[in-house]
Structure 1
Amino acid sequence: MSESLHHTRGIVAAIMATVFAFGCSHSRNQDTARSQEAPDSVYANAGNALITATFDTLRNSLLAAVGRSGFPEAISFCRVNAGNLTTIYADSVVIRRTSLNYRNASNKPDSLEYEVLTSM
């Protein structure tokens, strides 16, 4: 598997883990109140829309970088710009990069992210 595809999958997994973690971080009282407000499908649909929009932005930006300068430059582009590109959609959620095979200590999964990533 190419490094850029592996990197993109890692970003998507991180987004999914973060959305999952955000949804699971509420206390039981908050979950009860939330379930009275809207069904879980509303939150799942919102999460899926956020994942799709973020992934599309990252993918299109990465493909443009590959087209301009080839794969080596695209990897550098993604490393520098992925964080900024994901903040576009981060109105009320935290989007961050994580992986079981992280290279940067700031990308180390927390306990909930680790649980989600190992369940995939």
Structure 2
Amino acid sequence: MQDKSIDNALLALRKQIIRGNRDGLEHVEALLRLRGVDMPRVLPAKRSDVARRGHMTLLILDILRDGPKTLQEVAARVAEYRPESADRAFSRTAQALSKMKAKGLVGYEGRV
């Protein structure tokens, strides 16, 4: 096995230990120090509730399928599907609707 492969395997193991809050971190870091490998900062794992690309567009189009609604009504329905605060759901919905309007997917009629 090449040295680079061993180093990468140890770095991956270190990341798993840190993110999973498991035992053995001091041993892996000792091996990395012996090998002269720099240990980068490990970022926390990505949240599981992060929206996928295009998810909000599909969600909003599904909500609007049964007729026109105000921004507040759409945001309230989005908040039911996404685990976030009502304020965050409102701003996320407003941003998504703005982008959808620019693409011609939705329109604005009066206050609806």
Asked if Structure 1 and Structure 2 have the same fold, meaning a TM-score greater than 0.5 normalized by the shorter chain, the answer is: no
Report the TM-score, using the length of structure 1 for normalisation: 0.29
| Greater RCO structure (CA 8 Å; 6+ sep) | 1
Report the TM-score, using the length of structure 2 for normalisation: 0.31
The structure with more helix, counted as a fraction of residues: 1
Q: Select the structure of larger CA radius of gyration.
A: 2
